[in-house]
Amino acid sequence: MPVLGPQRQLLSPLNSTSPATPRLGLATNQTGPQCLEVSVPEGLFLSLGLVSLVENVLVVAAIIKNRNLHSPMYYFICCLAVSDLLVSVSNVLETAVMLLLEAGALAPRAAVVQQLDDVIDVLICSSMVSSLCFLGAIAVDRYISIFYALRYHSLVTLPRAWRAIAAIWVASILASTLFIAYYNHTAVLLCLVSFFVAMLVLMAVLYVHMLARACQHARGIARLHKRQRSTQQGFGLKGAATLTILLGPFFLCWGPFFLHLSLIVLCPQHPTCGCIFKNFKLFLTLIICNAIVDPLIYAFRSQELRKTLQEV
């Protein structure tokens, strides 16, 4: 948990120090160019984590409470909420422990701090990996429900969904343990970045294909009812907006973090890359923001789930 360079503790939210107040300014490096550094105050970081915690706990509670939501699709959404919850909790926990250490409230025993740091880093990494996996699983589930609608219930059964969920959690824990154990190997960073790119490509291909089918269906309905061309264009714009909502937050919130990892491989000593490394805390804040946005995109749009939330 000590504050170290970008080559160590990549998943630590305290990769770089931050002042107590928000600041967007130029930090001058003695050997390099001026750096645009965005400092995230600890209070804001902890507050966002709390908002994410409340949102995702509500999603999990609603799905558990309502038996009508006990289906593979909602189980994937529930697991995504658990992953996002762990992303926020683990980052907030590490920040809180660091603040307690700096305040002298905890005894700074090197061995204990290192073990605690490794455990929290594994938790952060596994929650991130599982979150990306469940986003991909939700996309695959929706794709099957559209293109194989008649066979959906025979293809996506509860036993298969549970096996997929268990496999994702086990793989995420094992992968994160290896990533943290071999953090200083370039291959580890390349695997993480490749995994993010693979999930991005998978989601983009599936959602674009689904929206193309939806637009084709809408054009067929428009021709059947002899509607105007402007109505067909409206369907296209709506599809583009939906695609932006699904993929935009994913890319904007996760992209900077994996850009950070990519630059560690490509230019670890370059002054310009060093400027980007200074904003590591901002990148983790964006990931927590994604944990806040996910319930709005995947869960709260369900009328049945919103009804259950009112009861909860």
Flag whether pLDDT at 19 surpasses 50.
no
Count of other CB atoms within 10 angstroms of residue 268: 14
Residue in 62, 25, 12, 304 with CA at minimum distance from that of residue 180? 12
What was the pLDDT predicted at 20?
A: 34
**Residue that is written with structure tokens 């307690």 in the block:** 100
Distance set, CA 17 to CA 101, 120, 135, 281 (Å): 14, 18, 31, 8
Tell me what percent of the residues of the chain surpass a pLDDT of 90: 16
Flag whether pLDDT at 148 surpasses 80.
yes
**Does residue 174 or residue 103 have the better pLDDT?**
174
Confidence of residue 15 (pLDDT cuts 50, 70, 90): very low
The CA-based dihedral angle spanning residues 188, 192, 195, 200, taken in that order and rounded to the nearest 10 degrees: -160
pLDDT in tens, 97-137: 777 777 766 666 656 666 777 777 788 888 889 999 999 99
Which pTM was predicted?
0.81
Confidence of residue 234 (pLDDT cuts 50, 70, 90): low
Flag whether pLDDT at 205 surpasses 70.
yes
Confidence of residue 95 (pLDDT cuts 50, 70, 90): confident
**Does residue 32 or residue 212 have the better pLDDT?**
212
End-to-end C-alpha distance for the chain, whole angstroms: 38
Query: DSSP string of the chain?
Result: -----TTS-TT-TTSS---SS-EEEEEEPTTS-EEEEEEPPHHHHHHHHHHHHHHHHHHHHHHHH-GGG-SHHHHHHHHHHHHHHHHHHHHHHHHHHHHHHHHTSS---HHHHHHHHHHHHHHHHHHHHHHHHHHHHHHHHHHHHHHTGGGHHHHS-HHHHHHHHHHHHHHHHHHHHHHHHTTT-HHHHHHHHHHHHHHHHHHHHHHHHHHHHHHHHHHHHHHHTT--HHHHHHHHHHHHHHHHHHHHHHHHHHHHHHHHHHHHHH-TT-HHHHHHHTTHHHHHHHHHHHHHHHIIIIITT-HHHHHHHHH-
Least confident of 18-22, 98-102, 295-299: 18-22
What was the pLDDT predicted at 78?
A: 92
Q: Where are the domains of the chain?
A: 42-219+242-311
Flag whether pLDDT at 229 surpasses 60.
no
**Does residue 98 or residue 298 have the better pLDDT?**
298
Residue in 42, 60, 39 with CA at minimum distance from that of residue 50? 42
**Does residue 237 or residue 250 have the better pLDDT?**
250
Confidence of residue 227 (pLDDT cuts 50, 70, 90): low
Any idea which fold 42-219+242-311 has?
Rhopdopsin 7-helix transmembrane proteins (1.20.1070)
Flag whether pLDDT at 31 surpasses 50.
no
What was the pLDDT predicted at 275?
A: 83
